[in-house]
Chains A and B, each alone.
Chain A
Amino acid sequence: MNLDPVIQGFLDEAGDLLSDFEAALLELESDPSNPETLNRIFRCAHTIKGNSSMLGMDGVAGFTHVLEDLLDKLRKHEIVLSPPLMDTLLRSVDALKELLTDAKQGQFMDHASHEQLLKEFRSFAVGGEPVSPEADAPPAPAEPPIATETLYEIYFAPPAELMRRGLDPLQFLQALADKGEFLQLTPDLSRLPSLGSMEVENCYLTWTIWLSSKRSKSEIEGCFEFIGDPTAFTIEALSFNDDVGESKPQSPSPSAPKTETRNTKPEALDAGSIRVAIDKVDKLINLVGELVITQSIVAQVVANYAEEKHSILAEAVAQMDRYARELHERVLTVRMIPIKTLFSRFPRLVRDLAAAVDKPVALEIFGEDTELDKTVIEKIGDPLTHLIRNAVDHGIEPVEDRLAAGKPQSGTVRIDAYQQSGNIHIDIADDGKGLDRGKIVAKAIQNGLVSPDQALTEDEIHGLIFRPGFSTAAKVTELSGRGVGMDVVKRNVETLGGSITIQSEAGKGTRFRIKLPLTLAIMDGQALQVGEQIYILPLVAITESVRPAHGSVHCLTGGAEIIMIRDKALPIVRLHRLFGVVPKSEDPTQGLVVIVDYEGRQAALFVDELLAQQQVVIKSLESNFSKVEGVTGATILGDGRVALILDVPGLVLLSKEAGKSATEGPRRKAA
């Protein structure tokens, strides 16, 4: 039996359960005795324990077993939820995540590294009854078969209601027959009532059986397990076989009967949803993308040829077009999941951060049901974490400063997610001291990012903190200064086709606004013509396009060209050279330059002309062909032609390298 899908399913499920576990723990902080929440927590640990032990993940199972005991005491109010206990429980979430990661890599066995945590669990649990050793013990090894045949006399009187439990006396007799040989079977009909008063669903017969078997008495007893009534049968060994015939009396279980709890809270999360492998969805999205493209080819052909008599055809094609587009839109939403899955880790993050810097901070989350592409959600996690960390560490002032400024003692970090005009916005705002522009400029001058006499607008100053090599943290604290700067945050957001902006007011706070595309599968692009070829440039990268004036293009020693745009010198990237196509004209004044932003800098792409702006379906070159520098992917245009999607930073890099080899090789004459 191939267990891989089961294990994968278990890991997915355990991940969800852990998130819920953590969320419930945090809810408990404000409402420590809510029985519903306590049960939820217990059930999470309970399910993980049960499943992991069945899958042989002894590390996870052992750990959750001890955890479950502790939680059981908690929900029965045998112990109280103290802050140290809360910390321990939260750490158990981290430990479990580690154990599950190990399990994912096939290491099922070890939870020794979390021994300390387990010790804490046990010491918190003290005060209640000691952990039952029996519950922990592996199943008792099967008793060795008895070498000699034993003769058992078995009396079997099935309880009257046996059949109403879906059971049947015959199956017990069959089970006995499997254990040995019936020497004699005597039914006792004395309990049978008269036909008139007989209940057809009741059992009235009893049997006495002589069974010759090599099995032990307890094994024979096992046949009657589901009877659930020790008085319904007796088993006696007739031949004497001291050790084996008389099995040890079964000791009553030392663990006290646990109270059953009924849970009536519906789990809305799972209602009516299915788990589907992401690659299935991606294949579907890809196919539908192809369909839309093929459809638009058909539509174009029909538009060109359809005359009056073909109007029915044209109409049908137009309708098909609408359906294809709607299908495409709907299929794209399949990849969308609520951002809740990501936001759920932030309460914990803020709580830990606030404790570490000793500032009271409240976190407010809005719009957690906003849906976003799964890949975007996965990749936006780190940038958001970084921004939140900054907000708590740098944004929110120490308590004294806040009180002095007449603000409430506790700072607030607010996360908002919402959809606006085809984009998803995520705002991270704090009510702290705001960005200190003077300090930012001073730092930028010190780092040589700007010159001291440069006049900067507010936005330009804010933009400085995204520049590589900039860090305002006067001291590197434990929280910030992990080698990740705001430049990485910006780059990550831009890789996703998004953008980030800052609003900040001194004394009032700072707001970072991240704008993300709804999906990575389609993109707003600008089509460019160079010679016979069409290229797509991501619309977000473009600032403007201009026809260079005579004399604005200069050639530097070494072959590099620059263009002066409003007193700024921008490097020119000649697409026709990089891609080896023949342009309409090599003279920049005969074409256009498109000014693009990349990594905080600008460059000018020289092209023949601009075509339409359009949404394009992105096809990965890497997975279909191989990675090509300067190109992020390809798309198929409405007329069936293939267009490459340009990667601006890659292009600039290529252009520089081409410039270098040009200086080394025969000098080319610049236009």
Chain B
Amino acid sequence: MSKTALIVDDSTTMRRMIGLTLHEAGFAVVEGANGQEGLNRLDGGPVDIIIADVHMPVMDGLSMVQAVRHRDDHRFTPILILTTEKSDNMKERGKQAGASGWIVKPFNPRQLHEVVCRLLRLPCETSSETRRL
């Protein structure tokens, strides 16, 4: 059965791009435009991994991660946060909030796919061609 990824980002472009990448890799995708929407989506069906932006209106990514960790059904769900900051500060704050990992924007979709597979302990079949984005 295919895994479901929840993508939470206020940018439609980013959601679409991640969505397309994971969709091609065989994932089902659900989306939310901010932390609150992301949380709401968790009630709509099973979610196996969450990918969330940090800067978002209404509810930012770190607050959402904290809230997700307080839910019994998602205490151990892998959560990947998207950040543009390379500083350890953001990673530390993500870690404190309960995020499993982080990926620094801009990233290559293949890189994202690999990380997602690693977090879900899935075999990662990346095609040989390198996709320049």
Contacts and interface: CB of A to CB of B under 8 A. Distances in A.
B99 to A, nearest CB: 6
A174 B121 contact: yes
Contacts of A170: 121
Interface stretch (A261-269, A386-394, A559-567, A660-668): A261-269
A266 B121 contact: no
Contacts of B101: 167, 225-226
A266 B91 contact: no
B77 A54 contact: no
A270 B12 CA distance: 10
Contact of B16 (A9, A174, A262): A9
Interface residues of A, number: 51
Contacts of B76: 163-164, 166
A50 interface: yes
Contacts of B118: 171, 174-175
Given A47-B11, A253-B88, A263 B106 contact: no
Contacts of B86: 134-135, 253, 255
B14 A263 contact: no
B73 interface: no
B89 interface: yes
Given A3-B133, A228-B95, A257-B87, A53 B105 contact: yes
B25 to A, nearest CB: 10
B93 interface: yes
Interface in A42-88: 43, 46-47, 49-51, 53-56, 61
A14 B133 CA distance: 18
Contacts of B95: 165, 228-229
Contacts of B99: 165-166
B77, B90, B95, B132: most-surrounded residue (chain A CB, <10 A) = B95
Interface in B93-114: 93-95, 98-102, 105-107, 109
B11 A50 contact: yes
Given A9-B12, A170-B121, A171-B121, A258 B85 contact: yes
B39 to A, nearest CB: 15
B107 A54 contact: yes
Contacts of A165: 79, 95, 98-100
B69 A56 contact: no
Contact of B11 (A13, A56, A255): A13
Interface string B58-80: 10101100000100000111110
A167 B100 CA distance: 6
A5 B12 CA distance: 11
A204 interface: no
A6 interface: yes
Interface string A10-43: 1011100000000000000000000000000001
B84 A264 contact: no
Interface in A365-417: none
B55 interface: yes
A243 interface: no
Contacts of B60: 260, 262-263
Given A165-B95, A260-B93, A53 B12 contact: no
A47 B100 contact: no
Contacts of A12: 12
Contact of A166 (B62, B91, B107, B119): B119
Interface string A259-290: 01111111100100001000000000000000
25 contacts: A1-B21, A1-B24, A6-B16, A13-B12, A43-B55, A46-B55, A47-B14, A50-B84, A54-B133, A56-B132, A56-B133, A164-B76, A166-B98, A167-B100, A167-B101, A174-B118, A175-B118, A226-B101, A226-B102, A226-B119, A228-B91, A257-B85, A265-B57, A267-B10, A267-B58
Which 5 pairs show the lowest CB-CB distances between chains A and B?
Answer: A226-B101, A257-B89, A10-B13, A166-B100, A53-B106
Given A50-B14, A260-B60, 20 more contacts: A3-B20, A43-B55, A43-B57, A51-B13, A53-B105, A53-B106, A54-B14, A55-B13, A135-B86, A166-B75, A166-B79, A166-B98, A166-B99, A226-B100, A228-B92, A229-B95, A255-B86, A255-B87, A257-B90, A261-B55
Interface of B: 10-14, 16-17, 20-21, 24, 33, 54-58, 60, 62-63, 69, 75-79, 84-95, 98-102, 105-107, 109, 118-119, 121, 131-133
